[in-house]
Each structure stands twice: as C-alpha cells, then as structure tokens.
Amino acid sequence: MRVKVPCVTCANVTDPKKYQLKLFDGELDDVGYVHVSCDKGHQSIVVYDSRRYEVLLQSASSALLEGYANEAISTFSTALERCYEFYIRVVLRSRRIAPEQIEKSWKEVAAQSERQFGAFHFLRLLEHGEPLKLNPNIAKTRNSVVHRGKIATTDDASKFGELVYTRIKDIEDSLNKNENDMEAEQKHEVASQKQQVPEGVEYVVLKAFSVKVDPATNEVVGFPDTFQEYLASVQRGKETGWSA
C-alpha cells in the first residue's frame, strides 16, 4: 500500500525551527515499514505503528474510494479476520498464556479463517458471557464476491465496509476490559518491527490514526465514530498525507 510519509533523515538533521514538513510517496511493506527515498537521496524507514487489521481497513477504504469495489470487499474481509486474530492474541495474553504457546497453537489455525473465527467466537463468549451479535450479511457478501466472483458495485462495497467497520468497533470495545494487555500486544508488535530495521538505516516509529475534522472550521474534533467519518479521514489522508 502506498502512503505519504516524511524523510526521517531530513527531519533529524534539519534545525527544528527551519524544518518544513515535506511528504514523500512510500510503500508500506508486510513488516509494517514505509520505505522512504527523499529528493536529497536519503533512504529511511518509517515504522508504521498500526495493527495489521487497521492497515487493511485503511487499504480497503482506499480501494473503495477509488471505485475498486471487489478489491475493497475482499480486503475489508481480511481486515476483519486479522481483527479476530488480534482479539484472540490479546485475550490469551490476558490469561497469561506464554507467547511461544500462542504461536504454536496459532500455527494450527493460521491457514483456516473459519477455525480462527470459531476460536474468536467462543473466547468472546467466555470473556463476556454472551456471544457478539453477528450480522449474516458479512459472510454472505464476502462469499459471493470472493468465491463466486460477483461483480460488486461501490454501493455493495460501501455497505459491506460499514458492516465490517461496525463489527471491528464492537471487537475493539470488547477489548476495553483488557486495555493493559492490548497495549502490551501493540508494544510487542512494534518491538519486533524495530528489531528488523537494517543496521545503519534511520527510522522513526509513527502512530497512524484517523481523526474526525469539523468541515466548517477544518479543526480536528476527535476520532471517527461512524464508517462515513472514517472514510472521510482516509480520503483526507490520501490528499494531504500522514495523520491528516
């Protein structure tokens, strides 16, 4: 996924009073790095502190905004699957399960999303005493697009995105009671990302998040509550770059 980011070296060597933020096109890779080559020839890395499901949600929304409805639906669906994984990992961490045991068990389900969903479903029940309310249209739309090759409209993709966004928000809300373990899991992910930065390459860790802007004043007024607010935030990010 292409994103706009600043050059880390320029930001480090320039007097902060004289530094003017300039953004460059970079490519986000699977480790969560954005590789930046600036116009002065510096090569640096921005470590994207964002969960995989958040990155996929952003990528799906971007595809939707550009009119790629099928691509948006399949990526929204993957974002949801990775959100289930994040939930499972945080809950297991909160139950003090050793990381190597989690990895060992995850390997058994890594290639089967239905098994992962099953694990999520019952862990969520165990944690909250009732299952998460599920909208059957998510599986229906996903299957018709991914398995049967239905040509989706942007309206289909927008409705699907809304359902997925709402479910991801519900899962995030479910994790409120595990806040410390959620932070620990995030830190663990970022630490492993940092470890993989090649020696000698300058990097910075940037927290990517979306914000809600009041269109009348153009001021940041909080975080997006609805899918439409989130989409507007992704649209602004595409136009103006990092964390806009």
Cβ distance to Zn ion smaller for residue 38 or 46: 38
One residue of 3, 28, 34, 38 binding Zn ion per CB under 5 A: 38
Residue 155 neighbours by CB distance under 10 Å? 9
The distance of closest approach from Cβ of residue 210 to Zn ion in the complex, given in angstroms and rounded to an integer, is 26
Site for Zn ion contains 36 (CB under 5 A): no
Shortest Cβ 40–Zn ion spacing (Å): 4
From candidates 2, 40, 128, 187, binder to Zn ion by CB under 5 A: 40
d(Cα 28, Cα 209) in Å, to the nearest integer?
15
Q: Which of 3, 5, 10, 164 binds Zn ion (CB under 5 A)?
A: 10
* C-beta of 9 vs 62, nearer to Zn ion: 9
Q: Interior CA angle at 81 toward 79 and 84, to 5°?
A: 110
Dmax over CA atoms of the chain, in Å, equals 57
Q: Which is nearer to Zn ion, 21 or 98 (CB)?
A: 21
7 contacts Zn ion (rule: CB under 5 A): yes
Stretch that binds Zn ion, among 16-24, 35-43, 113-121, 171-179 (CB under 5 A): 35-43
When the beta carbons of 9 and 59 are compared against Zn ion, the nearer one is: 9
Q: Are 5 and 244 in contact (CB under 8 A)?
A: no
Using the rule CB under 5 A, is 51 a contact of Zn ion?
A: no
Residues 6+ away with beta carbon under 8 Å from 229 = 212
The least CB distance from residue 7 to Zn ion, in Å, is 3
Nearest-approach distance from CB 5 to Zn ion, in angstroms = 11
Task: Tell which one of 5, 9, 48, 175 touches Zn ion (CB under 5 A).
Answer: 9
Residue 2 in the binding site for Zn ion (CB under 5 A):
no
Binding region for Zn ion (CB under 5 A): 7, 9-10, 38, 40, 42
